[in-house]
A = this chain, B = another copy of it.
């Protein structure tokens, strides 16, 4: 089965929006065992889209397309598809009634949205107004989904994937494993992976570094997979974290919850990101007390009682100040000095009954990257401290 995903989105080609839809579709298909061979983004243009759909349906068996279905003036997708599949348009009472039920009879786009290609299976839009479509002919399928992520995601999961599961029962899913590491550099892992690749040539291997974490994805037969997995984790036992989403915050919440621990932050340079990363996971309230985001020196003194003399003598980014606040650093682009360049971050982690362990990170990148890496590395530090008992003050 050859599969491709097309996004119709001028705003992506103009560099205004990131193409998250195609990744989402790939991930959902991946879970079914369907591999995606290509992503493409095209502008909203009749001639270009007609050629693009024709080419894609020639190459592939399943083409999933997002975007260009809205009620606004620049949407063409369904006309292109209807022409390719020689489908007339008809007014669909059922869609009209559903829209009236949800939006009332004065919805301006009602007539447009309820007029649909006769040959397509309708995919219900439970969130917005534009229905989706599945065209099928001679073993080729073309699905049209909306471009708004929320609408696309709901339609894909609730309407399209159930149909695909029925139509593609024999798609054999590959076996795969994902291993997650924190504080581990790609270059440190690479020699081990080269060995594994030699030992198990059947394995399809990928290393995907994030900011502060790293994913190793393996695909193969179950036997080779489990042997390789064991070998890799044995090489870096205290760097592994266990997380269904691949996020260190998910792993940390599970660990804190099972240990009946709670966490509270005092943040400076991350500006609330540490706390927000935890809060963004459902169930965070089991473990998250909150955070004192003392961005200004005034709040550091008033709220956390950091002494004015520590700040004056050592600067707010220092081992001394960070014993009284959990993380303080220079995210840039300005504020760096020769002794403390941009990317210098001091952090401290402690428990109710234990002294804080203080350590320094030397990070690179722009402001966003430094904040993000700081947050991920600190959540990783806390995780490794609790799970593996590593001594953070000795570096990692």
Contact = CB atoms under 8 A, between A and B. Distances in A.
A12 B27 contact: no
Given A279-B270, A279-B272, A279-B371, A13 B39 contact: yes
A208 B290 contact: no
Chain A contact residues, majority secondary structure:
mixed
A294 B299 contact: no
A237 to B, nearest CB: 22
Interface string A27-51: 1111000011111111100000000
Nearest to A289: B296
Interface in A291-306: 291-296, 298-299, 303
A288 B295 contact: yes
B285 A296 contact: yes
B205 A73 contact: yes
Interface in A132-171: 148, 150
Contact of A19 (B23, B280, B289): B23
Given A271-B284, A282-B332, A290-B299, A24 B15 contact: yes
Interface of A: 10-20, 22-30, 35-43, 70-74, 108-109, 127, 148, 150, 186-187, 190-191, 193-194, 197, 205-209, 215, 217, 246, 262, 264-265, 267, 269-276, 278-280, 282, 284-285, 288-296, 298-299, 303, 332-334, 364-369, 371
Given A15-B28, A279-B271, A206 B296 contact: no
